[in-house]
Amino acid sequence: MPLIQNGEGIRVTHAVPSGGSVTVNVGPNDSTLEINVAGSSEVQVVEVPPNKDAVIPVPPVPPGTILFITVGKGLRARVLIVEVIALAPQGP
Amino acid sequence: MRLEPVLLVAQDAPPATMPTRRAFLFGGAMFATGLSLGGACGYAFGSRRADVPAPVSDDFEKSGDADLDELRRLAVKAPIEELVKHDMLFIRSATVVYPNDRFLWRGLRRLAEEVIAKQNYPNRRIAAGILIQTINAADPEWASTLSDLVKSLRACR
């Protein structure tokens, strides 16, 4: 799924299932990242572990909600977009 | 000595503007009718105009916050292409860091109008979704400045 890419230097899954988690691989200079529902001012700060792969639980939001993952501060921040999708129905 | 007859032509007296009492009463009635109609129309027009917010200047004073000043420049002065280039960082900053800045809300409106107008806006569906979420989560005072665009944003594919 093509998504907006403003976050050079970080990698992330672009669509995550509701109730799942998203893994963000960040560069060596960032020790935290922030995740929020796009448009909302409530931000969750996540520590980046030494291996630089931050695992972020997806907040309880309806499918179709778009999340911002932000690395860095101010106008030098990089913003990635993640869309929450519905889980595919499981077969019997 | 001979006397010649001389005819002196006197101008006619100007017709009286108010020749009769009936005409005076008729004129007075017309004046009163015009006054009341004009007053009513003027009041209606003026009260409608009062509901429309006064236009806001694009000029802003330096805030002392370089990031905010740059975002304000993007919002109201920069070409729309430059604003679109930084759209996600702009939306994120306008909603998380400076959620009550009227200049940034004008930039959000410019972005929303661009998303609606341009079929080839990059990732148009996602951008429209983000703007709808922004409007839904905003303080009603600011949300009302973009609420007229929600229907068009929902139609973006």
Q: Output the DSSP codes for A4-32.
A: -B--TT-EE-SEEETT-EEEEE--TT-SE
- For residue B102, the enclosing domain spans 66-154
Neighbouring C-alpha atoms within 13 Å toward the C-beta of B42: 6
Asked, for residue B73, whether it belongs to a domain, the answer is yes
Which residues from chain B sit within 8 angstroms of residue A2, using beta carbons?
123
Residue B121 pLDDT greater than 80, yes or no: yes
Which residues from chain B sit within 8 angstroms of residue A40, using beta carbons?
95-96, 133, 137
Asked, for residue B99, whether it belongs to a domain, the answer is yes
Asked, for residue B142, whether it belongs to a domain, the answer is yes
Span B95-113, average pLDDT:
95
Is A43 in contact with B96 (Cβ distance < 8 A)? yes
Q: How confident is the model at residue B137 (pLDDT cuts 50, 70, 90)?
A: very high
Quick check: B127 contacting A, CB < 8 Å?
yes
Asked, for residue B16, whether it belongs to a domain, the answer is no
- CA torsion, ordered B95, B101, B106, B111, to nearest 10 deg: -20
Split into its structural domains, chain B has a count of 1
Q: How confident is the model at residue B62 (pLDDT cuts 50, 70, 90)?
A: confident
* Of A65, A66, A77, A61, nearest in space to A26 by CA: A77
Asked, for residue B125, whether it belongs to a domain, the answer is yes
**Closest alpha carbon within chain A to B96:** A41
pTM of the model: 0.71
Asked, for residue B21, whether it belongs to a domain, the answer is no
Q: How confident is the model at residue B60 (pLDDT cuts 50, 70, 90)?
A: confident
Average pLDDT of chain B, as a whole number: 84
Asked, for residue B49, whether it belongs to a domain, the answer is no
* Rg (chain A; Cα; Å): 13
Asked, for residue B95, whether it belongs to a domain, the answer is yes
- Cα dihedral A51, A70, A44, A2 sign: negative
Rounded CA separation B20/B26 (Å): 10
Quick check: B134 contacting A, CB < 8 Å?
yes
Q: Is B146 helix (H, G, I), strand (E, B) or coil?
A: coil
Residues recorded for chain A = 92
Which residues from chain A sit within 8 angstroms of residue B128, using beta carbons?
none
Closest Cα in chain B, distance from residue A84 (Å): 11
pLDDT digits (tens, 9 = 90+) for A10-49: 555 578 888 888 888 888 888 999 999 999 999 999 999 9
The residues with which B36 forms a beta bridge, in sequence order, are none
For this complex, say whether ipTM is above 0.90: no
Is A39 in contact with B99 (Cβ distance < 8 A)? no
Neighbouring C-alpha atoms within 13 Å toward the C-beta of A61: 21
pLDDT digits (tens, 9 = 90+) for B33-58: 877 777 765 666 555 555 544 445 66
Neighbouring C-alpha atoms within 13 Å toward the C-beta of B151: 1
